[in-house]
Amino acid sequence: MPLNRSLRVAVAAVACALAVGSTTGPVEAAPKPDPLGALLSPTLFDPLVNLLAALPTPYKGPYQGPVCVSGDPQCIEDVIAEMERRLVPLAASCSHDAIFSLAYLRVTQNVKNAADNGYFADRKWLTQIDAAFAQMYFDTMDAWKAGKKSSVAKAWQIALQATEDRKMSGLGDFMMNMNAHINNDFPYVLEKVGLTAADGTSHKADHNAYNQRLDSLYHPVFDEEAARFDPTFNKLDLGPVDEVLVGAIMRGWREVVWRHAEALANAPSFVRPLVEREISEYAAGQAQFIKALFASPSPDKRAAYCATHHG
């Protein structure tokens, strides 16, 4: 069940534009006139995204675990505590794994804030999604650290080996891990927790709603990564254009994720292996693309900087 190739090309093209700009060294900040800032916002893609309606997917019963079956808000608090616990030694040792660990923590804190303030129509569903998604990440990292490298997905193998070899820029580590977790893992989480509520309502509106929350995280998270781990992390500054690029990538990836989840949920048993292969190959292909564009030009400088700034 291959996805529309034009969507893939669009995502790759935007990722390439971001990558080329971010690996050529410091870029002088362009003027940011208010009219342009108002026009060039990641939200300009939202009308199109919202027009891409969910495909009919039957309700398949309540989520059965393995984590946060209750959907209690405490689940996200527990996830945050575990992320904080894991980040401390990674940051202290300047492990390149600290890049995504920090970003994922900040995203999860933002999810909690959004849920606490009624941002999502179905908080229980969102909480279950958050907890199950994080558990996949924890399990992958634990398997890799335990030497069970062949047991993790191909996109994760590419990302974590590059991170372990310390050959990527900070932004490259971030993009590689983010791609693996979103494009490889997220479809399975969505399918397992459920795409459709008991009353037949699709959860896609809540899935789409988080795009704008992510928009608000790019600058503060990139600045914190640059301050603590890699000073080149936020060197791309093209005014509102850089936010549009990142926003386009994330919206494209998250739309692909939803479609892959639908394919998993609706596939007959004999077709499912083909869908799983499609997901794996798509995520691995994105990983190879990112790896080629985000090699670190100065890994020693990054290490020296982190040693005095990791905080």
Res 14 pLDDT > 90: no
Cis peptide bond prior to 2, omega within 30° of 0: no
Q: What CA–CA distance (Å, rounded) separates 66 from 242? A: 38
Rg (CA), the chain: 19
- Identify the pLDDT of residue 244: 74
What's at 5, amino acid-wise?
Answer: R
| Mean of per-residue pLDDT scores for the chain | 86
Cβ atoms of residues 186 and 87 within 8 Å: no
Q: What CA–CA distance (Å, rounded) separates 100 from 10? A: 24
Res 140 pLDDT > 90: yes
Confidence band, pLDDT 50/70/90 cuts, at residue 24:
very low
**Mean local confidence (pLDDT), 85-114:** 97
Res 256 pLDDT > 60: yes
Long-range pairs for 88-96: beta carbons < 8 A, 24 or more residues apart: 91/228, 91/229, 91/310, 91/311, 92/310, 94/229, 94/303, 94/306, 94/307, 94/310, 96/163, 96/164, 96/166, 96/168, 96/170, 96/173
Torsion-angle region of 17 (φ positive above 0: left; ψ -120 to 50: alpha; else: beta): alpha
Res 179 pLDDT > 80: yes
Q: What CA–CA distance (Å, rounded) separates 264 from 272? A: 6
- Identify the pLDDT of residue 248: 83
Greater model confidence, 296 or 194 = 194
Res 4 pLDDT > 60: no
- Identify the pLDDT of residue 97: 97
Question: In this predicted model, what pLDDT tens digit does every residue of 36-53 receive, in sequence order?
Answer: 444 556 666 677 777 788
> Cβ of 84: how many Cβ atoms within 10 Å?
13
Alpha helices in the chain (DSSP H): 5-22, 34-39, 46-51, 74-92, 98-116, 123-145, 154-165, 170-179, 186-193, 204-215, 218-228, 240-266, 272-293, 299-309
Percent of the chain's residues with pLDDT above 90:
68
Q: What burial class does residue 139 get, using C-beta atoms within 10 Å of its C-beta: 0-12 exposed, 13-18 middle, 19+ buried?
A: middle
The tokens describing 206, both together, are: 């809540």
Tokens 């019963």, located at residue: 61
- Identify the pLDDT of residue 105: 98
Q: What are phi and psi of 276, to 5 degrees?
A: -60, -40
Question: In this predicted model, what pLDDT tens digit does every residue of 56-76 receive, in sequence order?
Answer: 999 999 999 999 999 999 999
Res 310 pLDDT > 60: yes
Greater model confidence, 282 or 3 = 282
Res 241 pLDDT > 60: no
**Mean local confidence (pLDDT), 95-119:** 97
**Mean local confidence (pLDDT), 194-217:** 94
- Identify the pLDDT of residue 277: 98
- Identify the pLDDT of residue 219: 86
Full-model pTM: 0.85
The tokens describing 141, both together, are: 């990292």
Res 34 pLDDT > 70: no
- Identify the pLDDT of residue 44: 61
Percent of the chain's residues with pLDDT above 70:
83
**Mean local confidence (pLDDT), 208-214:** 90
Cβ atoms of residues 295 and 168 within 8 Å: yes
- Identify the pLDDT of residue 299: 78
Confidence band, pLDDT 50/70/90 cuts, at residue 13:
very low
- Identify the pLDDT of residue 138: 98
Q: Of 267, 265, 203, nearest to 53 (Cα)?
A: 203
Q: 306: number of CA atoms within 13 Å, CB side?
A: 24
Cβ atoms of residues 155 and 281 within 8 Å: no
Res 35 pLDDT > 80: no
Q: What CA–CA distance (Å, rounded) separates 219 from 304? A: 24
Count of domains observed in the chain: 1
Q: Write out the residue range of the structural domain in which residue 241 sits.
A: 5-309
Greater model confidence, 190 or 45 = 190
